[in-house]
Structure 1
Amino acid sequence: MTATQLEELLSMIGAKLQKQDVIRQSISSSERLALTLRYLASGDSMTSMSYQYLVGVTTASIIIRRLEEKDWLDIATDYEEKWNSVHCIGAIDVKHVIIQGPNNAGSSFYKYKHAHSIVLMAICDANYVIRFADIGAYGRRSDGGIFKDSAMGKAFDEGRMNIPQPAAIAEGAPLLPYCLVGDEAFPLKPYLLRPYPGRRGLTSEQDVYNYRLSRARRVIENTFGILASQWRIYRKPIIASPENTKLMVQATVCLHNWLRRQDIDVNVYVPPCLVDVDDPHCPNSFKPGSWRTIMEAGCAFKDISNCGSNMSAKQCIEIRDEFCRYFNNEGAVPWQNNRTK
């Protein structure tokens, strides 16, 4: 982060970090911000941070609880231009964030794979910016109910997310809704597309649909990979209370978004080698991003096997079939049938 970027960030959040001097001189805004960034980026323990910055352990914890922000915007145009995905308003994924066992928490945060966790559900745009996040659900909850019972899932189901009205993808084409894209863990909804199940027995048209969907869905996988790579707090289970962990996750999301918005044209925060490279015009061009080795080696992010029911209404199946038809006809791209499978 450059000095100019640091000054701009300080001006944005400085009002929240101010404290009046009462008995002794307060810790300055720049010192508070430096401590926060150091903690999130290094993954050091709170005790280590208190030694480095000569403040008490409790003081360090309170400072790090200051940053939080969430936002969500309509980004369908970017997905169509960058990832050839029409009517896509974001890619969604869910992760368990592994934490140390909280004192006197019983089994509330105990995950089925012998670990404690809170749940992070996020929607990102085509530029790896997180537009909406649901953070803090108990890790012990069944994966199947996480999306349905989340504030985000309820808001979508109840029509409170201001999704654009269905529109024709092309002249003379049927009206189709604007949708999120997710993997097999998510339920098929009028506003959420998932792949056709199974790897064998798919028609060639269904295989093309799954491929086109995966190009957009991979953006959220890379976004989580960027978080794990650039904020070392996620390199191992987080040593903090569930309440502080939730706020730390919020802080990294906020800082990630700010840095990414400054970085879109220069790619310093997100260098090309960090994320997956996929030039569809060049056969065998897919190269996995370096974040994938980090996510596989003891990272605090763990996949969720299922977020909702696999039972799909007829209307949802028809919507998926119509997107499939479009991707294989007027919405086809020249390289979709020539890729290496």
Structure 2
Amino acid sequence: MHWYLATGDSYRTIAFSYRVGHATVAVIVREVAGAIWTALVEETMPVPQTEDWRAIAAGFQDRWNFPNCVGAIDGKHVVIQAPANSGSLYFNYKSTHSLVLLAVVDAQYLFRVVDVGGFGRSSDSGSLRNSAFGESLRDGSLQLPRDTVIPEAERLGLLPHVFVGDEAFPLLDNMLRPFPGRHLTRKKRIFNYRLSRARLVVECAFGILSSQWRMFRRVITTSPEVTELCVKATCVLHNFLRRKTIGRTSRTPIAVHG
């Protein structure tokens, strides 16, 4: 299983290396990926509560100088072989077929929320709209902290806690995106710079994920259901390894939960 995630080799190549049938490899990959997700999700990616969101916001304030931010959000296209009879459902704007990994990442590059399985033809905003996270964001059931005053900006009054995303995401009460256009005032350019600086943590997290689990650098030939399980497994393994690394190298403990 680790060989498949770490290299992305085909079932037949792995079967030849270990002298087993490729059907056996297929069963092992599916069952072990599901077992990894089930065993680690509560420990490494539990559902954030109010105090957890508050700790994430403190991390963005301290590390990236962006207040009231409870996560950076973005979508990653996981390239797959076109499933049979799928038409254009998985065909994306990059002219490949893919599943969408929609993720919310904290200031330490940890995945806090993931939604896997969106069709490649969907935009990031469409994937958000169709996800359970997006539904919770719209109906206000995420248990985000109460609106607070930003230090040195008391004149603005109470401001909500927000997720930050790129131009593909909608502007909502709890979602910020950059100001559009090129001819912006100095204040708007500074805001876009600060927002992009905070948002890049999710891009970095995807980069770390792809460098650790090189299945993301190949065309995945398994079924969408198995691919979804494998992507979820790599996300919780990423968190497991990151927390171990942070625990060894950080001088002060990171505010985590679980």
TM-score clears 0.5: yes
Deviations 1:201-235 (A, max 9, x none): 11111111111111110100100111111111011
Equivalent position of 2:20 in the other structure = 55
**Which of residues 89, 96, 105 in structure 2 aligns to 1:115?**
96
Q: Does the C-alpha gap of structure 1 residues 72 and 123 become closer, same or farther in structure 2, counting only changes over 3 Å?
A: farther
Shift of 1:54: 2.9
Equivalent position of 2:179 in the other structure = 196
Structure of larger gyration radius: 1
Shift of 1:72: 4.4
SS in 2 for 1:264: helix
Q: Quick one: higher RCO (CA 8 Å, sep 6+), 1 or 2?
A: 2
Equivalent position of 1:321 in the other structure = none
The structure 1 segments of at least 4 consecutive aligned residues displaced by more than 6 Å after TM superposition are none
Equivalent position of 1:256 in the other structure = 238
The TM-score, its normalising length taken from structure 2, stands at: 0.84
**1:1-341, aligned counterparts within 5 Å?**
36-65=1-30, 66=34, 67-68=36-37, 69=41, 70-73=45-48, 74=53, 75-141=56-122, 144-170=125-151, 172-173=154-155, 174-198=157-181, 200-264=182-246
Q: Distance in 1 between matches of 2:193 and 2:98?
A: 32
Q: Distance in 1 between matches of 2:99 and 2:106?
A: 23
Q: Distance in 2 between matches of 1:57 and 1:99?
A: 19
- Corresponding letter in the other structure for 1:201: H
SS in 1 for 2:62: helix
- 5+ residue gaps, structure 2, are 250-258
Deviations 1:61-93 (A, max 9, x none): 222232223434321111111110101100000
Shift of 1:154: 1.0
Deviations 1:72-116 (A, max 9, x none): 432111111111010110000012211011123333322244321
Shift of 1:144: 4.8
2:124–2:169 Cα contact (<8 Å) kept:
no
Deviations 1:10-56 (A, max 9, x none): xxxxxxxxxxxxxxxxxxxxxxxxxx211111111111122223332
Q: Distance in 2 between matches of 1:125 and 1:72?
A: 13
Q: Distance in 2 between matches of 1:217 and 1:42?
A: 28
2:74–2:124 Cα contact (<8 Å) kept:
no
Equivalent position of 2:255 in the other structure = none
- Corresponding letter in the other structure for 1:186: F
Equivalent position of 2:256 in the other structure = none
Q: Does the C-alpha gap of structure 1 residues 141 and 93 become closer, same or farther in structure 2, counting only changes over 3 Å?
A: closer
Q: How many residues align?
A: 231
2:75–2:124 Cα contact (<8 Å) kept:
no
Taking only aligned residues, the RMSD between alpha carbons, in angstroms, comes to 1.8
- Corresponding letter in the other structure for 1:58: A
Q: Distance in 2 between matches of 1:84 and 1:263?
A: 23
